[in-house]
Amino acid sequence: FLITSSGQPAGEVLAGLGGWQANLRGLSMDAKEATPLLPGLLSKGDWRGLLNIQQVAANGNWRSAQVSQLEMAWLNAATGLMPKGELGSFVIKGQSESQGLSFSISSQDGPLQITGLGSFSAQQGFRFNGELTDNTGLAAQFPGFLGAYLQPTGQPGRYTLRISQLDL
């Protein structure tokens, strides 16, 4: 089956006796539209910007999805929770399996430079380990739940961002 979006090819779904496979590419949506789909606290972020989904691939048997992969850019990312909530643009890559989701995030531009790896599972909650560089003082505005996870590295504007368990 061929999938189209606005009259343009956007992917395909393949089905067979042993299972299925789906591939989507070139889709975009406003981050505000995706916010209700996020778990727990993340769904309250008043997120803004454009989610440009380069690739989504999933496959499985007829009982469940086995593996899913996602690659997307979050362009002009922002949050309405802070007065100057412009965050920049990011590349997000993720993979899900039956045990949970793992992902990476890296900054492309903007006042915050973030790189790191994270995961989410029912057993361990949300975990993240990364670095944040802030040369504009934006990190000082972060809401309490996120600011509590920033640890200064001793270098001006540089932090480690470690979340060992956050129940969303």
**Domain presence at residue 18:** no
**Domain presence at residue 13:** no
Residue 85, domain extent: 23-166
DSSP string, the chain: -EEEETTEEEEEEEE-SS-EEEEE-SEEEEHHHHGGGS-GGGGGS-EEEEEEEEEEEEEE-SSSEEEEEEEEEEEEEEETTSTT-EEEEEEEEEEEETTEEEEEEEEEESSEEEEEEEEEETTTEEEEEEEEEESSSGGGGS-HHHHTTEEE-SSTTEEEEEEEEE--
**Domain presence at residue 140:** yes
**Domain presence at residue 5:** no
Indicate the average pLDDT of the chain.
Answer: 86
Q: How many domains does the chain have?
A: 1
The stretch 42-60 carries a mean pLDDT of 88
pTM of the model: 0.82
**Domain presence at residue 12:** no
Residue 143: pLDDT over 80: no
**Domain presence at residue 2:** no
The stretch 127-155 carries a mean pLDDT of 82
Question: Between the ranges 13-17, 42-46, 121-125, where is the mean pLDDT highest?
Answer: 13-17
**Domain presence at residue 77:** yes
Residue 145: pLDDT over 70: no
pLDDT value for 146: 65
